[in-house]
Amino acid sequence: MSLLVLASSVGAGVRRRWDRAVSAGEAGMATAEYAIVTLAAVAFAGLLLAILRGGEVREMLLGLIREALSR
């Protein structure tokens, strides 16, 4: 199978799926889902940052790192 024929068949399949998604009213769902996941990741990163800035947690992590490096 030549590359041109393969690209043509792949393109036709993508076009059919796109047409089906648009007709079903789902065009843009992926973008919205990516936005929600990105916001959740940023919120989680903020939470981790707040936790790690605390003195107890920081000292515990530094102690673990020091112990691991001293072995």
- Burial of 20 per CB tally in 10 Å (0-12, 13-18, 19+): exposed
Say if pTM beats, i.e. exceeds, 0.95.
no
Measured over the CA atoms of residue 23, residue 24, residue 25 and residue 28, the dihedral's sign is negative
Pure H helices in 1-71: 3-23, 29-52, 55-70
Give the mean pLDDT per block of 10 residues along the chain (71 residues). 54 72 62 87 89 82 89 79
